[in-house]
Amino acid sequence: MTVNGQRVDLEIQVSNEGDYPERVMYYWAREFSSALLTGQGYSTLPRTIVISIIDFILFECEEYDSFFQPLEVKLHTLLSNKMGFHFFELPKLPTDVSEDNMLLLWLSLFKAETEEELEKIKEMEVPVMSQAINAYYTITASSEFREKERLRAKARHDEAQALYNAGRNAKIEIARILKDI
């Protein structure tokens, strides 16, 4: 998507599947390189940012938001402002959020896991937050949404069962090999 002339790729990730920084750089490279049309000069490439809202700890620091750009290592000179990676680590969010801090309100909405947490945000009476929560309730109440969620849950259970069986079969095979030694 394009926001204020910048290309923005918004990623929301619930669990760390490994190699997340490399994945984000790949998404950035794909987005950035696709912006250059045949015959255009490199200077026409837009600023391209990847925003990652992640529900796991990625960096060993207390800050919930981190921003990366390419810098020269010794002098910290910016190579280009056309590359940026913004990470928001939901587990590090403060528990108390003011109704004046829209960024933290939106991140808290992403972090909310229970209806009580959603209602706490809604009680702040910030109109856009109430609208977002009402839209969420409308979507999740639909039978189509519930069926998709049921299928997602089934897929997660099937994957867990397959991993369990693979591990069990590997243990049996290892036991057979050790028995024959």
Q: Per residue in 46-69, pLDDT tens? A: 999 999 999 999 999 999 999 999
Q: One-letter amino acid identity for 94?
A: P
pLDDT on residue 22: 95
Domain count, the chain: 1
pLDDT on residue 145: 67
pLDDT on residue 46: 93
Asked if 148 and 122 touch (Cβ cutoff 8 Å), the reply is: no
> Considering the domain boundaries, does residue 64 fall inside one?
yes
> Considering the domain boundaries, does residue 97 fall inside one?
no
Asked if 5 and 46 touch (Cβ cutoff 8 Å), the reply is: yes
pLDDT on residue 172: 67
**Domain limits at 37?**
1-92
The pTM assigned to this predicted structure is 0.73
> Considering the domain boundaries, does residue 99 fall inside one?
no
Across the strands, what pairs with 87?
A: 52, 66
Averaged pLDDT in 10-residue chunks for the chain of 181 residues: 88 89 95 91 93 94 95 95 95 88 88 85 85 82 75 78 70 67 65
> Considering the domain boundaries, does residue 120 fall inside one?
no
By DSSP bridging, strand 2-3 and strand 6-13 are: antiparallel
Across the strands, what pairs with 68?
A: 85
> Considering the domain boundaries, does residue 153 fall inside one?
no
> Considering the domain boundaries, does residue 49 fall inside one?
yes
> Considering the domain boundaries, does residue 105 fall inside one?
no
Residue 8 CA to residue 22 CA, distance in Å, equals 17
pLDDT on residue 96: 85
pLDDT on residue 181: 65
> Considering the domain boundaries, does residue 88 fall inside one?
yes
For 156, counting Cβ atoms within 10 Å of its Cβ (0-12 exposed, 13-18 middle, 19+ buried), the class is exposed
